[in-house]
Amino acid sequence: MKIAFIGLGNMGGGMAANLVKAGHEVRAFDLSEPALAAARVAGCQTFATAKEACEGVEAVVSMLPNGAIVRQVYWDDVIGHAPEGAILLDCSTIDVATAREVIEVTEQHGYQMVDAPVSGGIAAAAGGTLTFMVGGSDEAFARAKPILAAMGKAVIHAGAAGNGQAAKICNNMLLAIHMIGTCEAFAMAEKLGLDPQTFYDISSVSSGQCWSMTSYCPVPGVGPVTPADKGYQGGFAAGLMLKDLNLAIEAATSAGAKVELGEHAWSIYAAFARDHAATDFSGIIETL
């Protein structure tokens, strides 16, 4: 397929490269010249504007920072520039209301669209092992799935438009809560005189086991290699976790959902991200 890819940051660059590896013709755009240069090395064609990248394509994939930018890009650069009938896939993490608005408007202009936020981080984006949570009609999902499958290990239909974003923010709120709890447990174990590796060996096969422990351990030298072994660099930045928690709290408020632990996790990451926004979110253990 001929695919426009808009947004070549830490996540989008690897995703676009994997579409090339899968045999697609990728027409890429980003505001960053270094990002465009890296995309060319990966085999993408690059363009000076998003409008040009969208010309003559069968699909548009976007990976953008926030809902306002997503809305602007689709209003100004995609609608009327990508051929009518193209399948549109927004993989950004944004608020549910904006996701549903953009899908509604693009459908009014003759397109099909899904919201398809991701889980997995930079390494998974580069390795093609992302998980996609997809919102949209059955027909739009069926068209989007082969494209997403070229970039991930799991593509799951979450239901109607916006439900991909709903799944993403609920998932990441849970992840934030788990990571804080995991860090507190390791810190307390150490203060009680328990060796971190020993605690890991016990808890990783006991009822306290969770992904934040066994796949993303926040303690250097314990478990698989994680950002903790690299000075808490790479992975998933605390500033991005705070962004997702902001979306979760906003969604909870609009839905009337009670999320006391989510709100507490938000306050902890808000304080941490003030000075450590670029630090991996597991670095929260250093505050304990």
Active site residue 168: yes
Report the C-alpha dihedral over residues 50, 52, 56, 57, rounded to 10 degrees: -30
Mention every residue, 6+ apart, whose C-beta is less than 8 A from residue 199.
185, 186, 189
Distance CA 77, CA 75 (A): 6
What residue spans of the chain are helical by DSSP H?
12-21, 33-41, 50-53, 67-73, 96-108, 121-127, 138-149, 163-191, 196-203, 211-214, 238-255, 260-276
Do 76 and 58 meet the contact criterion of CB atoms below 8 Å apart? no
CA angle 34/38/42 to nearest 5° reads 165
Q: Helix (H, G, I), strand (E, B), or coil: what is residue 158? A: strand
β partners of residue 113 = 88
DSSP state at residue 92: S
Residues 229-251 as b/e (b if ≥16 CB within 10 A, e otherwise) read: beebeebbbbbbbbbbbebbbeb
Do 1 and 24 meet the contact criterion of CB atoms below 8 Å apart? yes
Task: Please pick, among 21, 51, 145, 168, the residue that the annotation labels catalytic.
Answer: 168
Distance CA 240, CA 175 (A): 13
Distance CA 14, CA 68 (A): 23
Residues taking part in catalysis: 168
